């Protein structure tokens, strides 16, 4: 049974702290004058806030899973671990925003405030245990994301990105709600646990209504993690948004959407039956399509940022593989994948962002001969690209290996072959950057001001986990294994 409200609040401290951080940041921002550029105190307060959220989440990691607020939310180690990933992603994007020239002046604090809001939405989404909280989480996440995408007000690309995001977002939320309303009508409850129980005994008529309803439901969630065929918005939005925003989008909303999808799949479809087969079948097709379309579209891109957007679509496809096996091995692999993906993405976007600040665009040619000017940065970029492509001994390989392991255990050989082929395709465009960095002569000898000593140090320290998790992965895998999902 659920706890009463006051007892529930004691399990809800990280979310409350994130809300307090957001309001505190709004107050601090209000005290600054318009021409005050640095805003050191603001960012200091933001880091303190994120660090306190992180501390409480780490403390929660050892606690038993518990259902709070009359079973509408679940605080379990699984959601807590993914929340840690989201907070780290927000911190990374916040640091990038304080350094990047893509967003300037008072847009920087605005980004931080809204990113904290998105973080709260993501946390709600990953703990949601009924449809209402799921919907509120998705909308908190989305509405603020629309604003983030169109953050550069006088840039028409940015406002076009926000426009596309909000239109697609509104449509998918509506379609998802329409599906949910019929699920509610047939099963009579909005609570996930009760739906999971009710799904075990269904009449044929109920199955006939529920199958299309779940398809509509999946469309809404699929949109959030940008899987094919609901991915059309993603490259445009990623390209139009300022780079720190893109960095943020590629981690936080994606991880939150995956968390919700994992919870739904595990709670609803753990038992054999017509619904289970239908759901797994649809997810397999979507996963195969997502990997393939993402990778093939990434090949022809000129802009590195757009290439990374497509590559993040294909990574979502790989993570879907870990979800559709519906086993503890699968969940553990996806959680591990999310952790490694966070670090790889942050490094790649940091470097692209600083290069973009210097030249005003992020085309592939801007990386020509980077190794002769910034050898350390080029090596970090190369490590990240190898890791994204899934080569040993980097963390991307370990993460992919575990996902493959999970699907081979369940004997989905066709999917395993498709995933393997996709890894080969993705090698092409990841290696392209390395080839340009090493083999081409440098375009110019100018300094890239973003690569200051401090920033280089931070990029190196973010690359350490990429390398480290590829060799000493047992510890983190143990944490991921212990991150069990709440089932009753």
Partner 1 sequence: MQDHVEDNGANMISLPSYLFLSFIMFIAGLVVMVARKNIIAILLGVELILNSAALNFAAYTRFINQNLEGNIMSLFIIVIAAAEAAVGLAIVIRFFQLKESVHIDDATQLQA
Interface ranges with partner 1 (CB under 8 A): 131-132, 135-136, 139, 142-143, 146-147, 150, 153-154, 156-157, 159-164, 166-167, 169-171, 173-175, 177-178, 180-182, 184-185, 188-190, 235-236, 239-240, 300-302, 306
Question: What's the closest the beta carbon of residue 205 comes to partner 1, in angstroms?
Answer: 14
CA distance 371 to 369: 5
Question: What's the closest the beta carbon of residue 326 comes to partner 1, in angstroms?
Answer: 27
* Residue number, 156 or 445, with CB nearest to partner 1: 156
Cα radius of gyration (the chain):
22
- Residue 146, CA distances (Å) to 111, 167, 252, 392, 396 in order: 12, 9, 14, 38, 30
Structure-block tokens of residue 294: 């993402």
Structure-block tokens of residue 259: 């968390």
Q: How many CA atoms lie within 13 A of 63 on its CB side?
A: 17
* Residue number, 14 or 294, with CB nearest to partner 1: 294
* Residue number, 184 or 468, with CB nearest to partner 1: 184
* Residue number, 136 or 379, with CB nearest to partner 1: 136
* Residue number, 14 or 162, with CB nearest to partner 1: 162
Question: What's the closest the beta carbon of residue 109 comes to partner 1, in angstroms?
Answer: 19
What is the CA angle 74-77-82, rounded to 5?
Answer: 90
Question: What's the closest the beta carbon of residue 73 comes to partner 1, in angstroms?
Answer: 15
User: Does residue 84 contact residue 59 with C-beta atoms inside 8 Å?
Assistant: no
**DSSP secondary structure code for residue 66 in this structure:** E
Question: What's the closest the beta carbon of residue 255 comes to partner 1, in angstroms?
Answer: 22
* Residue number, 194 or 443, with CB nearest to partner 1: 194
Question: What's the closest the beta carbon of residue 242 comes to partner 1, in angstroms?
Answer: 13
Question: What's the closest the beta carbon of residue 146 comes to partner 1, in angstroms?
Answer: 5
**What residue spans of 128-191 are helical by DSSP H?**
131-149, 156-187
* Residue number, 166 or 345, with CB nearest to partner 1: 166
CA distance 139 to 131: 12
CA distance 335 to 480: 6
**DSSP secondary structure code for residue 448 in this structure:** -
What region does 390 belong to: left with phi over 0, alpha with psi -120 to 50, or beta? left
User: Does residue 285 contact residue 418 with C-beta atoms inside 8 Å?
Assistant: no
Question: What's the closest the beta carbon of residue 166 comes to partner 1, in angstroms?
Answer: 5
* Residue number, 166 or 193, with CB nearest to partner 1: 166
């Amino acid at each position: 049974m659920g706890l009463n409200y006051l007892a529930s609040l004691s399990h809800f401290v990280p979310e409350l702290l994130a809300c307090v951080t957001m309001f505190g940041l709004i107050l601090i921002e209000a005290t600054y004058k318009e021409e005050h550029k640095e805003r050191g105190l603001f960012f200091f307060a933001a880091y303190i806030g994120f660090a306190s959220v992180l501390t409480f989440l780490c403390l929660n990691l050892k606690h038993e899973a518990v259902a709070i607020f009359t079973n509408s939310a679940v605080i379990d180690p699984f959601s807590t671990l993914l929340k840690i990933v989201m907070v780290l992603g927000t911190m990374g994007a916040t640091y990038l925003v304080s350094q990047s020239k893509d967003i300037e002046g008072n847009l920087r604090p605005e980004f931080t405030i809204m990113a904290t809001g998105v973080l709260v939405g993501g946390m709600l989404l990953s703990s949601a245990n009924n449809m209402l909280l799921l919907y509120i989480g998705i909308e908190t996440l989305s509405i603020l994301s629309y604003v983030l995408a169109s953050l550069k007000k006088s840039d028409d690309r940015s406002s076009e990105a926000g426009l596309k995001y909000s239109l697609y977002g509104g449509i998918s939320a509506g379609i998802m709600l329409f599906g949910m309303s019929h699920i509610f009508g047939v099963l009579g409850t909005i609570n996930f646990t009760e739906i999971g129980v009710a799904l075990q005994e269904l009449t044929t008529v109920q199955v006939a209504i529920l199958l299309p309803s779940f398809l509509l439901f999946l469309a809404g969630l699929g949109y959030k993690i940008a899987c094919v065929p609901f991915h059309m918005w993603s490259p445009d939005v990623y390209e139009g948004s300022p780079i720190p925003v893109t960095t943020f989008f590629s981690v936080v909303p994606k991880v939150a959407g995956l968390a919700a999808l994992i919870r739904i799949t595990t709670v609803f479809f753990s038992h054999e039956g017509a619904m289970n087969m239908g759901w797994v079948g649809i997810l397999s097709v979507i996963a195969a399509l997502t990997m393939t379309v993402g990778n093939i579209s990434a090949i022809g891109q000129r802009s590195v940022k757009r290439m990374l957007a497509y590559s993040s679509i294909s990574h979502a496809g790989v993570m879907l593989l870990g979800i559709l096996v519906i086993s503890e091995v699968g969940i553990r692999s996806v959680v591990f994948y999310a952790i490694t993906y966070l670090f790889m993405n942050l490094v790649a976007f940091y470097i692209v962002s600083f290069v973009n600040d210097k030249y005003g665009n992020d085309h592939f040619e801007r990386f020509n001969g980077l190794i002769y000017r910034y050898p350390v940065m080029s090596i970090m970029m190369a490590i990240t690209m190898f890791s994204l492509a899934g080569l040993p001994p980097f963390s991307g390989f370990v993460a992919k290996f575990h996902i493959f392991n999970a699907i081979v255990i369940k004997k989905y050989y066709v999917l395993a072959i498709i995933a393997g082929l996709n890894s080969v395709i993705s090698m092409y465009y990841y290696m392209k950057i390395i080839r340009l960095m090493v083999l081409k002569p440098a375009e110019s000898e100018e300094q890239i001001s973003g690569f200051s000593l401090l920033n280089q140090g931070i990029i190196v320290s973010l690359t350490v986990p990429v390398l480290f998790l590829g060799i000493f992965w047992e510890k983190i895998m143990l944490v991921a294994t212990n991150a069990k999902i709440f089932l009753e």
